[in-house]
Amino acid sequence: MISSKQPGDEMTNELYLAIPEFKVYALEHIDVEFLGNNYLVFGPFGGLLTDWIIEDASNELIDRCYDHINQLCKNADKETEQMLKVTFFEHLTDFKKSIAMSRLKLHGEALTFFEEVLNGPIFSGGKYAK
């Protein structure tokens, strides 16, 4: 466990366990006092996953990332849904390649959340939305 006093530390610690490559990144790029803050961790995770997609990282790594998010979104409460939409999913809307990969790898509630972000007022009519 990285911190036992930060809000959301259970969710962030599950992420660090599922994706140790991201934990290495987080320890280097996120201030220690924020390592348990969902909003300040899942945004960089979405950005890093987008980078990994663009850079053609291993399929196994990308699959683990999407599997973790798919699992997290199953029966997610409203707070978790909103947090993921404004942090993680927004990053995946930046490039055609990350949108296509997300549409392929996300399913169930995770895909619904992603499409809601992609087709929401900020992105609707955007160059990659359709």
At residue 123, the pLDDT reads 62
At residue 1, the pLDDT reads 39
Which three-class secondary structure string do you get for 44-107? HHHHHHHHHHHCCCCHHHHHHHHHHHHHHHCCCCHHHHHHHHHHHHHHCCCCHHHHHHHHHHCC
Residues of the chain whose pLDDT is less than 50? 1-7, 125, 129-130
Distance CA 72, CA 65 (A): 11
At residue 50, the pLDDT reads 97
Instruction: Check: CB of residue 43 under 8 Å from CB of residue 87.
Output: yes
At residue 8, the pLDDT reads 52
Q: pLDDT of 71-106, one tens digit each?
A: 999 989 999 999 999 999 999 999 999 999 999 999
